[in-house]
């Protein structure tokens, strides 16, 4: 479509309306969800795709969810013949998912027999059927991490298939809770579908398609303008994962970014091979982290659609940490390794456009999964914020979730109302940010006391390799984990008794610029 034939005001209204559909889907999902992880932490994402599976709009939810959906949706769409009223679910990381707790629900949208596109949402289920409570164990193979759901029709003719749903939820540890969250995801998708139909009826089928194409073209033009400001040539950067939980330490993630006439190639050759532990990534998760960083370089008004990423090519060797082969375990790749991908891409770009890049943020989500497998079954999952990196314009933020996660904390009141836990302390970890002209943000300290026996998994990073500073700024403090004052490794599974205490100290962010002389 000729961009000059599109009314810019009408296009802006249309772009904002489809964004609002995604936001509304999220509001429905939050209000209908059963589990605190979705309802209170907001660990979910919603998006809209065209008939080919190209991303058209998304709400400002979780970057690792949205980027990976954008990367993998076309393959999911192409793999089947869609009918009105289909309801499809999946979580298989090698067939369009990220890791098993993230379950995606997809619905096609038809108008007068014509496929308009798809609505989708992805939500993190703290129970996805793993033997380990919280469904985030130290694992070696995918099947140890829970129930694998390949793309599966869980409903036809707009009705859930109770036989399929019962067979699925009965494999979980808390089937009624899981069934409630599935129902919330379906309700949110139905809400999005009805709003898309309303908008498409108002505009007409041909205008709907023309407007989607125009939004993508507009995003591409804004993205091209931003990428054109990158200097041509290559920059590289290397950072390390602490370990995989099974004795393999200091695993390099290496990137080379090449800019040539507005096209960008992001090449991870030289990155470690896939490992025994679960810090491996499917390529969709790697892509999500890369696209997130480049989206940060674009103007704020750039539509979050496929057009914004047309000029970016991503390569990671098959069988590597960032493009693992099935059935490698990937539970922590989605949360921990994706964070390091952001760090290395930002580290490389800091050599090209230093004024646009921040120092390293905490670089971990500090994952806690816990619960009981006997007596009254319960599952709890949480990620913890930390320090953000400073930049040339000011200091980093304190105690926040950053980059690939965009969730909230679980409020203390919610923790203590729902699980046999008491939060003894929760506050800033003073002095943990890097020192420099602009200091890095400080991390958090959160101490839990167990009121009943439980099994616990801690999966964290930046316990060996500190978040780096920029422009001679100091590094942030490494994180630390303690059980009853005994320090734990970055990744550990263990049992606790009533009265035991778990303390998590999250990393601070790196500083920017040298400290002022006394």
Residue ranges in 108-260 assigned as alpha helix (H): 162-169, 175-203, 205-227
| Dihedral over Cα of 132, 134, 139, 143: its sign | positive
In this prediction, residue 2 carries a pLDDT of 47
Contact 298, 221 (CB under 8 A): no
Give the distance from CA 173 to its chain's centroid. Answer: 24
In 305-420 the beta strands, taken as DSSP E runs, fall at 312-315, 367-372, 378-382
Strand order in the sheet with 491-496: 378-382, 367-372, 454-459, 491-496
Q: How far is CA 269 from CA 262, 265, 316, 459, in A?
A: 21, 12, 6, 26
- Helix pair 283-297, 338-352: axis angle to 10 deg: 40
pLDDT, residue 442, reads 98
CB 423 within 8 Å of CB 100: no
- Burial code (b: 16+ CB inside 10 Å, e: under 16) for 346-366 equals bbbbbbbeeebbbbbbbbbbb
Identify the pLDDT of residue 237: 98
- Three-class SS of residue 493? strand
- Amino acid 61: pLDDT: 64
Query: What are residue 115's DSSP bridge partners?
Result: 110
The answer to whether the beta carbons of residues 423 and 412 sit under 8 Å apart is yes
d(CA 203, CA 187): 25
pLDDT of residue 97: 87
Pairing of strands 152-156, 87-90: antiparallel
For the chain, how many helices (H) and strands (E)?
9, 20
Strand order in the sheet with 480-483: 421-429, 443-450, 501-505, 480-483, 486-488
Q: Which of 200, 215, 11 is nearest to 114 (CA)?
A: 200
The predicted structure's pLDDT at residue 3:
45
Q: Which of 247, 268, 249, 246 has the alpha carbon at shortest distance from 257? A: 268
User: Where do runs of H (alpha helix) occur along 434-481?
Assistant: none
Count the Cβ atoms, other than its own, within 10 Å of residue 279. Answer: 33
SS3 assignment, position 272? coil
Please give the model's pTM, rounded to 2 decimal places. 0.94
**How far apart are alpha carbons 252 and 84 in whole angstroms?**
47
pLDDT along the chain (518 residues), means of 10: 65 92 95 92 92 89 69 86 97 92 96 95 93 91 95 96 96 94 98 97 91 93 95 98 97 98 96 98 94 93 89 97 97 96 98 96 97 87 97 97 88 95 98 98 98 97 98 98 97 97 98 89
Residue 69: per-residue pLDDT:
74
What's the residue count for the chain?
A: 518
Q: What is the pLDDT of residue 1?
A: 44
CA distance 164 to 161: 5
Helix, strand, or coil here: 150?
A: coil
Q: What is the pLDDT of residue 374?
A: 81
């Amino acid at each position: 479509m000729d961009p000059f034939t599109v009314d810019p005001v009408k296009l802006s209204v249309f772009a904002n309306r489809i964004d609002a559909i995604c936001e509304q889907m999220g509001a429905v999902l939050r209000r209908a969800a059963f589990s605190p992880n979705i309802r209170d932490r907001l660990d979910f994402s919603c998006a809209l795709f065209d008939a080919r599976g190209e991303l058209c709009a998304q709400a400002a939810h979780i970057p690792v969810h949205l980027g990976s959906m954008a990367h993998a949706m076309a393959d999911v769409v192409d793999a089947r013949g869609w009918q009105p009223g289909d309801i499809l679910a999946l979580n298989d990381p090698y067939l369009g998912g990220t890791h098993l707790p993230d379950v995606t629900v997809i619905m096609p949208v038809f108008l007068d027999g014509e496929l308009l596109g798809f609505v989708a949402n992805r939500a993190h289920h703290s129970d996805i059927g793993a033997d380990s409570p919280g469904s985030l164990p130290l694992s070696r193979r995918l099947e140890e991490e829970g129930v694998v759901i390949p793309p599966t029709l869980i409903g036809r003719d707009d009705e859930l298939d109770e036989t399929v749903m019962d067979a699925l939820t009965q494999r979980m540890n808390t089937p009624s809770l899981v069934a409630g969250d599935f129902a919330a995801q379906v309700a949110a998708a139905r809400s999005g579908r009805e709003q898309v139909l309303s908008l498409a009826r108002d505009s007409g089928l041909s205008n709907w398609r023309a407007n989607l194409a125009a939004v993508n073209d507009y995003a591409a033009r804004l993205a091209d303008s931003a990428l054109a400001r990158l200097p041509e040539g290559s920059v590289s950067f290397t950072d390390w994962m602490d370990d995989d939980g099974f004795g393999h330490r200091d695993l390099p993630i290496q990137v080379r970014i090449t800019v040539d006439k507005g096209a960008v190639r992001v090449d991870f050759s030289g990155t470690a091979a896939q490992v025994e532990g679960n810090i491996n990534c499917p390529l969709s998760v790697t892509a999500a982290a890369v696209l997130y960083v480049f989206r940060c370089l674009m103007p704020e008004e750039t539509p979050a659609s496929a057009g914004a990423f047309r000029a970016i090519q991503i390569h990671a060797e098959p069988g590597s940490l960032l493009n693992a082969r099935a059935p490698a375990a990937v539970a922590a790749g989605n949360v921990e390794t994706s964070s390091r991908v952001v760090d290395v891409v930002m580290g490389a770009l800091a050599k090209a456009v230093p004024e646009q890049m921040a120092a390293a943020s905490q670089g971990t989500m500090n994952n806690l999964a816990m619960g009981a497998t006997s007596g009254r079954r319960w599952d709890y999952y949480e990620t913890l914020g930390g320090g953000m990196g400073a930049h040339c314009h000011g200091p980093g933020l304190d105690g926040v979730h950053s980059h690939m996660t965009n969730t909230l904390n679980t409020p203390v009141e919610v923790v203590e109302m729902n699980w046999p836990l008491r939060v003894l302390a929760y506050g800033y970890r003073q002095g943990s940010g890097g020192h420099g002209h602009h200091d890095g943000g400080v991390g958090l300290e959160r101490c839990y006391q167990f009121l009943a026996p439980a099994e616990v998994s801690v999966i964290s990073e930046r316990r060996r390799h500190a978040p780096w500073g920029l422009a001679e700024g100091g590094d942030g403090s490494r994180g630390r984990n303690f059980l009853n004052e005994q320090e734990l490794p970055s990744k550990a599974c263990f049992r606790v008794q009533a009265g035991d205490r778990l303390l998590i100290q999250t990393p601070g962010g790196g500083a920017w610029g040298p400290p002022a002389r006394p």
